[in-house]
Amino acid sequence: MNWQEVLTIIVPIIAYMGWVYARIEKKADIRQATSEKRFDALEKRFDKVDEKLQSLDTRLTRLEGRFDERGYWESRKGTGTEGQ
């Protein structure tokens, strides 16, 4: 077996290995991009939920302030409805 025969066997094998490696890398890149997109989408959703929670907290604080101004909590003492 001379060197040309060896090359005719080895070169296609190396080329195929390179092709397989490129496909694996491409799939890994696609997976990475997909997971980044999913993460970004979840992060946006989280930000929206966080904004809504902050808004609700602000509204609740205002309502509590109004009840305190009117003496609502003091009038409810002893009625058995505390903490409800």
Residue whose structure tokens are 């509590």: 64
- State how far the alpha carbon of 13 is from the alpha carbons of 1, 3, 5, 23, 58, in Å: 18, 15, 13, 15, 67
pLDDT in tens, 1-18: 788 888 889 999 999 999
Instruction: Answer whether residue 80 shows pLDDT above 60.
Output: no
CA distance 3 to 5: 5
Q: Would the pTM of this model clear 0.85, i.e. be above it?
A: no
Percent share of the chain, pLDDT over 70: 81
